[in-house]
Amino acid sequence: MATPTATKRLAKEYEALTKSPTPYITAHPSETNILEWHYVLTGPPETPYEGGQYWGALTFPSNYPYAPPAIRMHTPSGRFQPSTRLCLSISDFHPKSFNPAWGVSTILNGVLSFMTSEEMTTGSVRASSQECKIFAARTRWWNSTGGGSTNRVIPGVSNSNSRGVGAIKAGDGGAKFRKEWPELDKSNWEYMQERRIDPATGNVAPEQTSCTPTATALRRVPAANTSRAGAVVGGAQVARVAGQSWFGRHKYYVAGAILFSYVVLARILRDSSEL
């Protein structure tokens, strides 16, 4: 249970955030527990996370602001392990270094700054820029479907044979996100419907007739120098190919060429010995 000091402080910070929003950051306390906050970070321009929708949570101690919150990011980003406590100087991993003057805005700006850096810590992962762009392109789908675990369908888009490719185990179908962010969830479903994204897979459904320019763009595999991911289809495959060497991508062709050369050379040597 929050102390009166913590309750007063967090209520004041929510009021300040509402009146003066911070760029790329949205946050609010849970309706039932002021110590539990939910945030959404929007990936800043000119970063691998551009346009991504990153949902996470702050869990404040009862004696806040004299101790820092636990920080988690639920949405897969290629930067943090989903729903894992992050070891940052502003998190509960380092209570002695926390400054009571720091508030929610300072904390979330710190998370965003760390996210767009290359520094590693407990709870962080290392992915290529291309992989992070692919994660960014799938964030809206992931948040509102629980990673494909939803039972909701989009008429004309959902595939009855879909088995939830890429879905998280024991997913909640996006219920928690929908509860905390109903307006964003509604916008995400409109986004998926417009782009014909299958809720079960996160892939763009094939057009029945002709492809719209938007759907065509989403099907393209993003080039290495694109500023943001324009494709949702085959995201995992693109990530794998992007991280492979030339030999890794063509190893079967190389093996076939070596085998063919061996057979030809053996036949030439055999014919020579018979002469």
Instruction: Give the residue, 165 or 208, on which the prediction is more confident.
Output: 208
pLDDT in tens, 260-273: 777 767 777 666 66
pTM exceeds 0.85: no
Instruction: Give the residue, 211 or 161, on which the prediction is more confident.
Output: 161
pLDDT-based confidence at residue 5 (cuts at 50, 70, 90): very high
Q: Which amino acid is at 188?
A: N
CB 199 within 8 A of CB 145: yes
CB 39 within 8 A of CB 27: yes
pLDDT in tens, 228-237: 333 343 443 4
CA distance 215 to 206: 9
Which residues have CB under 8 Å from 126's CB, separation 6+?
A: 120
CB 6 within 8 A of CB 62: yes
Q: Can you give the C-alpha Rg of the chain in angstroms?
A: 24
State the DSSP string of 128-142.
-HHHHHHHHHHHHHH
Residue 167 pLDDT exceeds 50 = no
CA 75 to chain centre: 5
Q: List the catalytic residue out of 87, 125, 154, 242.
A: 87
Residue 146 pLDDT exceeds 60 = yes
CA distance 232 to 187: 18
pLDDT-based confidence at residue 166 (cuts at 50, 70, 90): very low
pLDDT in tens, 95-119: 999 999 999 999 999 999 999 999 9
CB 201 within 8 A of CB 148: yes
DSSP letter, residue 97: G
Please state which CATH class domain 4-115 belongs to: alpha beta
Which residues have CB under 8 Å from 9's CB, separation 6+?
A: 64, 65, 103
Instruction: Give the residue, 84 or 212, on which the prediction is more confident.
Output: 84
pLDDT in tens, 174-225: 999 999 999 999 999 999 999 999 999 999 988 765 455 544 444 444 443 3
Question: Where is 10: in which H helix or E strand?
Answer: helix 4-19
pLDDT-based confidence at residue 70 (cuts at 50, 70, 90): very high
CA distance 232 to 5: 46
CA distance 27 to 103: 12
CB 80 within 8 A of CB 86: yes
| Average pLDDT for 64-81 | 97
CA distance 264 to 111: 61
Active site residue 211: no
Question: What's the confidence (pLDDT) of residue 274?
Answer: 59
Residue 244 pLDDT exceeds 50 = no
DSSP letter, residue 55: E
Question: Where is 59: in which H helix or E strand?
Answer: strand 53-59
Question: What's the confidence (pLDDT) of residue 234?
Answer: 42
Find, among 137, 142, 204, 221, the residue nearest to 176 by Cα: 142
pLDDT in tens, 26-69: 999 999 999 999 999 999 999 999 999 999 999 999 999 999 99
- Residue 61 structure tokens: 């101690």
- Residue 110 structure tokens: 């710190």
With tokens 């949702």, the residue in question is: 232
CATH 3.10.110.10 residue ranges of the chain are 4-115
Torsion of CA 163, 124, 60, 99, to 10 degrees: -160
Instruction: Give the residue, 160 or 104, on which the prediction is more confident.
Output: 104
pLDDT-based confidence at residue 171 (cuts at 50, 70, 90): confident
